[in-house]
Structure 1
Amino acid sequence: MTSTADALQQRLSELESHLEQENPVLLNVVQSFRALDRVAYRMGLMESNQSFATQIPWWPLISILGTFSSGKSTFINYYLGQKVQRSGNQAVDDRFTVIVYSPEDVSRTLPGVALDSDPRFPFFRMSHAIEEVAGGEGSRIDTYLQLKTCNSERLRGKIIIDSPGFDADAQRTGVLRITDHIIDLSDLVLVFFDARHPEPGAMRDTLKHLVADTIKRPDAGKFLYILNQLDSAAGEDNPEDVVAAWLRAIGEAGLTAGRFYTIYCPEVAIHIPDEHRRRRFEKKRDEDLADIYRRMENVEVERAYRIIAALRKSVTDFARDTVPLLQEAMRRWRRRTLVTETLLLLMAVSAFMTWSLKSQHWQGLTYRADWLELVKSIPWGLGALEGLGVLVVILVHFGVRHLAALSLMPWLRKRLAQLNPPGHVIAAFEKNTRFWRPVILGRPFGWGRKTRVELDEVLQSCESYIQTLNERFTNPNRLKG
């Protein structure tokens, strides 16, 4: 445990060193995460080799999703200014490709295990998650993921993830599991459709998983829907019909609002003979590309706000859900233990009284007196009986409290599924109900006025971080003038 705890601290130190150069504001945020960790450690809600800071990605993530041959790879190559991804009319890559910045001029391609085994990347131990939904597939992580490096300034400080298409059934369960994972983590999701095949049949999988399943998400604003390769429709009598068919298909999937773009890559564009139509297409393309690029460049800012929001949510949920749930579990355990012991005591007294009355009625006082005299005549007789009685009471007490704790587990697991609070509540509950923990103590380990003050300080620091970001990116002081 010590070695893994040291590895965690080393990882956090490396993160701090990176942020000290890239984003000093977030450097202080790491310290606030450490303060929250210390509270969780004291209360038994987290192991020393774990941290709230490692449960969120610190790198800004941009995901490129969509159908096969919708121009995703061509778009990435054009944006980065380098041919990093293979492109073509057929499916050329059936794996998720994580593209990161490297100062080296030579681009490198590394297997999926490089991502699965490195906690600094958002796919750490993804093989375990794939194994859960597709048995036997977890060991084939290299068929799902690969890592590529690229020396492009546009990639510095962020990660781009290129996905396989959604048309094939092979490895479908694992692919969708990874897709859900990167959608949750991403700051920006570009959903590509092919203007050459805008009909619903070719778009069915994408419409279902990337439109219908995401429109009710609280972060739905991070999805951009892009009809790519629109230059292929320039030769149509009415190219607007292609866009209309696409919008209609998306609308039928439930999406009636949001940001929609129509683009094509200038480097591989089909020549449009009609000059007026060409200018109109190029003008719309350049406007939409500029807007998309602005959103892509802005992910670093959005990620900074998102990290602070994650810290604030962790602290809020910790104080609002985790601690009250642990306190309620302990109250139920204490009440159940005391009630059970009281009932057992009443039953024992009742049994003794019943036995005493029957003994007097059937055998008479002489027999009972003789029995007591016999006990007294045995060396240490009464003391032995008293010691035996105390031992029985102690064993019964610890047995009752243990059974009471076990009987609460179904209720506790149900509440955890409903609330999903941060921290390991079951581990903390087990710690608070161990044999050396007095039943009469009401509050959990590590919880008190000092702890509440520490959490309040972390919450107040979140407001300070937000204000610092606002001053850096918006300078609200100028609005006062």
Structure 2
Amino acid sequence: MAKTATEERIKRLKSHLEQENPSLAEVVEYFQELDAVARKLGFMNADDSYAIQIAWWPVVAVLGTFSAGKSTFLNEYLGQSLQRTGNQAVDDKFTVISYGSNEEPKQLPGLALDSDPRFPFYQISQEIESGAEGEGKRIDSYLQLKTCNADVLKGKILIDSPGFDADKQRNATLLITDHIMGLSDLVLVFFDARHPEPGAMTDTLEHLVANTINRQDSDKFLYILNQIDNTVREDNPEEVVAAWQRAMAQSGLTAGRFYRIYSESAAAPIADQQILDRMRAKRDEDLGDIKSRIEQLDVDRAYRITGLLEQSGKHLRDVLIPELIDARRLWFKRARRLNGVVFAAIIIGFAYWSLSSDTWDGFMFTPMAGLAPALQLLAGGTVVVVLGILYAYLRQLAGRSVLRKLQRDGRPGKDGKRLSMAFERNLESWSKHMSAEHPHGWSGRTQRKLDKLIASADILVQKLNDRFTRPSGSDTKEQ
């Protein structure tokens, strides 16, 4: 039985995946085991989980500048007029589009996304609040959910974004845009082919292009020149593409392909049949490639999520735990230094007092000479206890100074919060008296369990390969 709201959500997620994709339901169980390791080490609380930080359905994000034809593209892809269109900005919210069985589309508030781990914006209000204080509670001002009865939506999620202008975006909007680019399986970046103006779009290109070039998943970004039909009057689509390539090169993108498309329903009439045929052929080829990439996501998703299991495990083992050990080393170093200074001062002060008064008769401490043996023992024990308390207090003081440093100068985002939380757990644990290399909960057994979880990702990939490949060419599974 689920004990927390997060566990209940994961339970429902697993139940759904068991029907929709059993192999991914198995991955959920591995994520739960990874959660247990992270919680034992203090990097995660009971209300958190790796399983709720990823998108379990393929996500296609549509980003781009104002009037670039994003909504028109989505409407044609869905076969319905779901999104409003226009030459000016018609919607200032991020719209998550999901399949719904009702014939009529439904529009739901942003809260529906913020509270459901199956969608890519689960608990996004907390991230917005951390980046823009006071904006987290205004989640409905930034997000909305729409359902649509379109077969192409089954098993995937689309995200339509408001027109992007980096100069005018609020911090919360930039944060959501970065969040979308990080979690999406495919990012369609739309530009209006009529306006290749790199000088006026420097910041926008920087955010949508330059910041994505060095990403490991940079191949998921498709750059699309929409409304290419508007070049037909001059019959110069190649020159338009070249102008955009120069604009992109200024942002560091020197390789890659532009997809040239336009909407048949919104296109201006083309009188020359030869030009029309040439434009249609190129449009159909590029549009077909874009749709093919979207359809491929059903396969890519399983590999992506399995890869995230391995990445999360390695990140915990190879990044967070070493950083926690480094923080403990700094703590122990500061504690030794602080205790050394304080106890040296006590010893010097006691020695000075002893030498300046008749407190010693040989090896006899004269202030205690008249006390009964039992009282002498009690007094000596009290001194030891007081010194022990002082020692522990100074260690705690040193540890708190390191915690403040982590909170002030540490990593931004979730990694910084997790590291601080784990370090604070170490301050409160008996393990604080062990060596710096042995944080609370970290043992040979825990390390072997984590290594096993990371290795399990390879086994899961092999199972996926068995579904899609046959190296021997036979119709039976490879042995």
* Short-chain TM bin: 0.7 to 0.9
Residue 462 of structure 2: aligned partner: 467
Residue 261 of structure 1 aligns to which amino acid in structure 2?
A: Y
> How far is 1:214 from its partner?
2.1
Residue-by-residue CA offset, 1:53-98 (whole Å, 9 max, x unaligned): 2222222111111122221111111111111111223322222111
CA contact (8 A) 1:317 1:421 kept: no
Residue 219 of structure 2: aligned partner: 221
Which of 14, 24, 28 is equivalent to 1:30? Answer: 28
Q: Relative to 1, partners in 2 of residues 1:276 and 1:125: Cα closer, same or farther, differing over 3 Å? A: same
Residue 458 of structure 1: aligned partner: 453
CA contact (8 A) 1:67 1:166 kept: yes
Residue 425 of structure 1: aligned partner: 419
Residue 288 of structure 1: aligned partner: 286
The residue matched to 1:29 in structure 2 has which SS? helix
Residue 317 of structure 2: aligned partner: 319
Which of structures 1 and 2 has the bigger CA Rg?
Answer: 1
CA contact (8 A) 2:426 2:432 kept: no
Residue 398 of structure 1: aligned partner: 392
The 5-angstrom pairing of residues 227-242 of structure 1 reads 227-242=225-240
The residue matched to 1:97 in structure 2 has which SS? strand
> How far is 1:102 from its partner?
0.9
CA contact (8 A) 2:166 2:204 kept: no
Q: Relative to 1, partners in 2 of residues 1:11 and 1:388: Cα closer, same or farther, differing over 3 Å? A: same
Q: Relative to 1, partners in 2 of residues 1:84 and 1:341: Cα closer, same or farther, differing over 3 Å? A: same
Residue-by-residue CA offset, 1:83-125 (whole Å, 9 max, x unaligned): 1111223322222111001122111112223223434322234
Residue 388 of structure 2 aligns to which amino acid in structure 1?
A: I
User: Which sits farther off after the overlay, 396-405 or 384-393?
Assistant: 384-393
Residue 257 of structure 2: aligned partner: 259
Q: Relative to 1, partners in 2 of residues 1:364 and 1:424: Cα closer, same or farther, differing over 3 Å? A: closer
Which of 403, 406, 409 is equivalent to 1:409? Answer: 403
The residue matched to 1:157 in structure 2 has which SS? coil
> How far is 1:42 from its partner?
2.2
> How far is 1:49 from its partner?
1.8
Residue 87 of structure 1 aligns to which amino acid in structure 2?
A: T
CA contact (8 A) 1:46 1:423 kept: no
User: 1:230, 1:418 → 2: CA distance?
Assistant: 41
The residue matched to 2:4 in structure 1 has which SS? helix
Residue 75 of structure 1: aligned partner: 73
Residue 274 of structure 1: aligned partner: 272
Q: Relative to 1, partners in 2 of residues 1:150 and 1:59: Cα closer, same or farther, differing over 3 Å? A: same
Q: Relative to 1, partners in 2 of residues 1:419 and 1:151: Cα closer, same or farther, differing over 3 Å? A: closer
Residue-by-residue CA offset, 1:156-213 (whole Å, 9 max, x unaligned): 1111111111249665433222211111111111111122333436655542321233
Q: Does residue 433 of structure 2 align to residue 444 of structure 1?
A: no
User: 2:446, 2:469 → 1: CA distance?
Assistant: 34
> What is the RMSD computed on CA atoms of the aligned residues?
3.2
The two structures have a TM-score, normalised by structure 1, of 0.87
> How far is 1:303 from its partner?
2.5
Residue 383 of structure 2: aligned partner: 389
Count of matched residue pairs? 473
Give ranges in structure 1 of 5+ residues lacking alignment. Answer: none
User: 2:36, 2:197 → 1: CA distance?
Assistant: 55
User: Which sits farther off after the overlay, 116-125 or 129-138?
Assistant: 129-138
User: 1:252, 1:425 → 2: CA distance?
Assistant: 38
Q: Relative to 1, partners in 2 of residues 1:156 and 1:202: Cα closer, same or farther, differing over 3 Å? A: farther
Q: Relative to 1, partners in 2 of residues 1:358 and 1:105: Cα closer, same or farther, differing over 3 Å? A: same
The residue matched to 2:62 in structure 1 has which SS? strand
CA contact (8 A) 1:227 1:261 kept: yes
Residue 164 of structure 1: aligned partner: 162
Residue-by-residue CA offset, 1:242-292 (whole Å, 9 max, x unaligned): 333233322333221112111112333333222221111111111101100
Give ranges in structure 2 of 5+ residues lacking alignment. Answer: none
